[in-house]
Amino acid sequence: MSSSWVYIKDLKDYLDKKIILKGWMWNKRSSGKIAFLQIRDGYGFVQVIAEKSVLGEDFFNEIKKLKNESSLIIEGTVKKDDRSPVGVEILAEKIEIIHEPNEDYPISNKEHGIDFLMENRHLWLRSRKQFHILRVRNQIIKAIREFYLENDFTLIDTPIFTGSIGESAGNTFEMEYFDYGKVYLAQTGQLYLEAACQSLGKVFNLGPTFRAEKSKTRRHLIEFWMNEAEVAFYEHEDNIKLQNDLVNYIVKSVLENVRDDLEALERDISKLEAVNGEFPRITYTEAVEVLQNQGYNINWGDDLGAEHETKLSSKYDKPLIIEKYPKHAKAFYMQPDPQNPEVVLCDDMLAPEGYGEIIGASERIWKEEVLLKRLEEENLSKDDYQWYLDLRKFGSVPHSGFGLGIERTVAWICGLEHIRETIPFPRTLYRVYP
């Protein structure tokens, strides 16, 4: 074949030219002398017209019987077609069957139950909706990296095995590490970013984190990806501005670069377009008052549940920042508010439309004696945190940071009810296969 291999996204530049298409036939229909093959190639979806008169009777009959997900190499001419989402279709001249399944493809156009789809996640990834979600995820991650690199941050890859519990002892994965003894899978890379910001000023990471969450919810994964940032000399206000800027940057970037994918997912784009400028802010104490006034049975000091969060964020079309939670509802490392030491200088950012918390953030305790007291209060052994305490011994400075959950962000941007479709191979309470 002398023509050149072109991806579906670029076909419109080859009108009336002969090209080669390599991909999979995800569906077909035929009527008498013509077969319409629906082809995908990783970059889009296009219809290929296979005619008996061109391919010859025997081969045409073979094509008519092809099973879905056969892989093909097609040589043909690109023709304008205004009904096609890519504006073209292909008139096939030659088709090479690379591999034809012996059995029917298990995933069809009919509705399948979620357990079946999860069991077949390795094949489900090929479906149109999953294709679009994974492209949006990719763009979100790309935007995150761009944001930090454009703002002079340095990437710090933080470890997965750790001897110091980063969040809370309640949901760690523990294991024996050679002669060292007990270690944990990272719940966060934060403590290590705190060390690195004293070397490089503004730092970030992006990687998998692990939490043995025993509750089965739409928003929790056991293995999830987090982007964290940490900045030396940043205080609470600087931290909030940074999160606000990052989220605006992500939304702008997806609207500019993967709008077609969002439309294919039937996302209400106007809801994303409303996300810009400064986000609304309330304190935890105000949030509790709002909920109490609405008849919720909640007391100061209680955690905000998913239902509370949805109620609170429903008033706004932008993400909502809730700040200054009670000290005991939050992790040990958060800086008490000098105005009221019962609360800490932290914030959670809730996505609009009820998609829940996407960011957890705080200014960190930077005085050694305050940190020692908090470790003791939380029953954490100071021996496990010697290196972390060292950071408070040598040129300690106020510093702040946050973590953005990638899957929660993807769920919000794509408008997905459940987090399980936002990651290629989800690990949930009952699933580690495939």
Say whether the peptide bond before residue 434 is cis (omega within 30 degrees of 0).
Answer: yes
By the rule CB under 6 A, 135 interacts with ligand 4AD: no
- Pick between residue 69 and residue 167 the one whose CB is nearest to ligand 4AD: 167
Q: Which of 184, 192, 204, 402 binds ligand 4AD (CB under 6 A)?
A: 402
- Pick between residue 77 and residue 428 the one whose CB is nearest to ligand 4AD: 428
Contact 50, 34 (CB under 8 A): yes
Q: Which of 158, 162, 188, 227 binds ligand 4AD (CB under 6 A)?
A: 188
Length of the chain equals 434
By the rule CB under 6 A, 190 interacts with ligand 4AD: yes
Residues 141-170 that bind ligand 4AD (CB under 6 A): 166-167
CA distance 330 to 196: 23
- Pick between residue 25 and residue 143 the one whose CB is nearest to ligand 4AD: 143
> Using CB under 6 A as the criterion, what x/- string covers residues 272-301 for binding ligand 4AD?
------------------------------
- Pick between residue 326 and residue 405 the one whose CB is nearest to ligand 4AD: 405
| CB closest to ligand 4AD, residue no | 360
Residues 192-231 that bind ligand 4AD (CB under 6 A): 211, 213, 220-221, 224, 226, 228
- Pick between residue 162 and residue 248 the one whose CB is nearest to ligand 4AD: 162
By the rule CB under 6 A, 407 interacts with ligand 4AD: yes
CA distance 349 to 402: 10
Residues 10-49 that bind ligand 4AD (CB under 6 A): none
By the rule CB under 6 A, 243 interacts with ligand 4AD: no
- Pick between residue 101 and residue 159 the one whose CB is nearest to ligand 4AD: 159
For 127-195, the DSSP string reads SHHHHHHHHHHHHHHHHHHHHHHHTT-EE----SEESS-SS-GGG--EEEETTTEEEEE-S-SHHHHHH
Q: Which region, judged by CB under 6 A, interacts with ligand 4AD, from 11-19, 176-184, 356-364, 383-391?
A: 356-364
Count the neighbouring beta carbons within 10 Å of the beta carbon of residue 20: 16
Task: Write down the least CB distance from residue 2 to ligand 4AD, Å.
Answer: 50
- Cα torsion 52, 57, 61, 66: sign: negative
Count the neighbouring beta carbons within 10 Å of the beta carbon of residue 358: 25
- Pick between residue 23 and residue 401 the one whose CB is nearest to ligand 4AD: 401
By the rule CB under 6 A, 405 interacts with ligand 4AD: yes
CA distance 213 to 249: 30
Contact 47, 23 (CB under 8 A): no
- Which residues, in sequence order, are CB contacts of 419 under 8 Å at separation 6+? 218, 219, 220, 221, 224, 407, 408, 411, 426
DSSP structure class, residue 360:
E
By the rule CB under 6 A, 360 interacts with ligand 4AD: yes
Task: Write down the least CB distance from residue 111 to ligand 4AD, Å.
Answer: 27
By the rule CB under 6 A, 403 interacts with ligand 4AD: yes
Residue type, 185: L
With H, G, I as helix, E, B as strand and everything else as coil, classify residue 21: strand
Binding site for ligand 4AD (CB under 6 A): 166-167, 188, 190, 211, 213, 220-221, 224, 226, 228, 357-362, 401-403, 405, 407-408
